[in-house]
């Protein structure tokens, strides 16, 4: 069974749903922040700034969910017990898709995939659950993600794909230790 074929079990209850939604936004934010650091270290400031913006946006999403969840005791879930469709939460950018010379266009494409995955995730839960509360929340979250997808698509329109050769580096890699 490959990592792509995970089928999550049904969400247990509303607190679990909230915990998953919160984790998605928190992990997305942490991932974007990490990527921003990677880009800074490799002197790709434009993309670093983009990822930092995304990290801020995800933090806002996370704060919103935390506000909505005030008063509800959330379950403590070990990192490997979350019910994701893939190896990681749906908005976690796949690290192997990063390149030190990537452009904002490429970063936006990754962000788009994240939002699309998140939308599909919530839509899937909404369609499978028998729990009305969970369905309601999942549908709302899916709707939010659809809006995010639109935003990213609009943004992407302003950053067309660069010409081939964008990843060319005349200098060879450097020995370090």
Partner 1 sequence: MTSASTSSPAPRPADFKSDIKPVWCPGCGDYHVLLSFTKAMAHLGVQPHEVAVISGIGCSSRIPAYTNCYGFHSIHGRALAVATGLKVARPDLTVICAGGDGDGFSIGGNHFLHACRRNIDLTYIVMDNEVYGMTKGQPSPTTDPNWDSALTPGGTGVSPFHPLVIALASGANFVARCFSGDPNTTAKVIAEAARHPGFSFVQILSPCATFRPDQKEWRNMVRDAPVGGTDDPARAARRIMTDDGFNLGILYRGSRKSYRFSVGENKDELAAIEGKFTL
* Binding status of residue 72 toward partner 1 by CB under 8 A: no
* Binding status of residue 97 toward partner 1 by CB under 8 A: yes
Minimum CB separation from partner 1 for residue 100, in Å? 5
CA 69/CA 22 separation, integer angstroms: 9
Binding segment toward partner 1, per CB under 8 A, in 84-92, 107-115, 140-148, 154-162 = 84-92
Distance of CA 37 to the CA centre of its chain: 17
Q: Which is nearer to partner 1, 92 or 126 (CB)?
A: 92
Asked if 168 and 155 count as a contact pair (C-beta separation under 8 A), the reply is no
* Contact characters 134-163, partner 1, x per CB under 8 A: ------------------------------
Among 13, 60, 72, 100, binds partner 1 (CB under 8 A): 100
Kindly tell me the burial class for residue 12, based on how many C-beta atoms sit within 10 Å of its own C-beta (0-12, 13-18, 19 or more): middle
* Binding status of residue 94 toward partner 1 by CB under 8 A: yes
* Binding status of residue 131 toward partner 1 by CB under 8 A: no
Taking each helix axis from N to C end, the angle separating 45-68 and 14-41, rounded to the nearest 10 degrees, works out to 160
Distances (CA, A) of 100 to 30, 41, 71, 97, 167: 19, 9, 43, 10, 8
88: CB partners within 8 A, 6+ apart: 27
Binding site for partner 1 (CB under 8 A): 1-4, 30, 34-35, 37-42, 76, 78-80, 82, 84, 87-88, 94-100, 102, 172-177
């Amino acid at each position: 069974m490959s990592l792509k074929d995970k089928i999550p079990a049904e969400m247990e209850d509303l607190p679990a749903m909230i915990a998953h939604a919160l984790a998605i936004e928190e992990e997305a934010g942490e991932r974007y922040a990490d990527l921003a650091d990677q880009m800074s270290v490799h002197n790709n400031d434009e993309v670093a700034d983009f990822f930092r913006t995304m990290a801020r946006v995800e933090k806002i999403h996370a704060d919103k969910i935390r506000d909505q969840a005030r008063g509800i005791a959330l379950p403590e879930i070990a990192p490997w017990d979350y019910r994701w469709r893939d190896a990681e939460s749906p908005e976690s950018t796949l690290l192997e898709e990063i390149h030190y010379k990537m452009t904002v266009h490429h970063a936006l494409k990754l962000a788009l995939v994240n939002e699309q995955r998140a939308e599909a995730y919530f839509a899937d839960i909404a369609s499978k659950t028998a729990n009305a509360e969970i369905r309601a929340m999942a549908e709302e979250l899916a709707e939010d993600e659809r809006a995010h997808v639109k935003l990213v698509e609009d943004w992407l329109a302003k950053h067309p794909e660069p010409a081939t050769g964008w990843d060319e580096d005349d200098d060879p890699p450097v020995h370090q230790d």
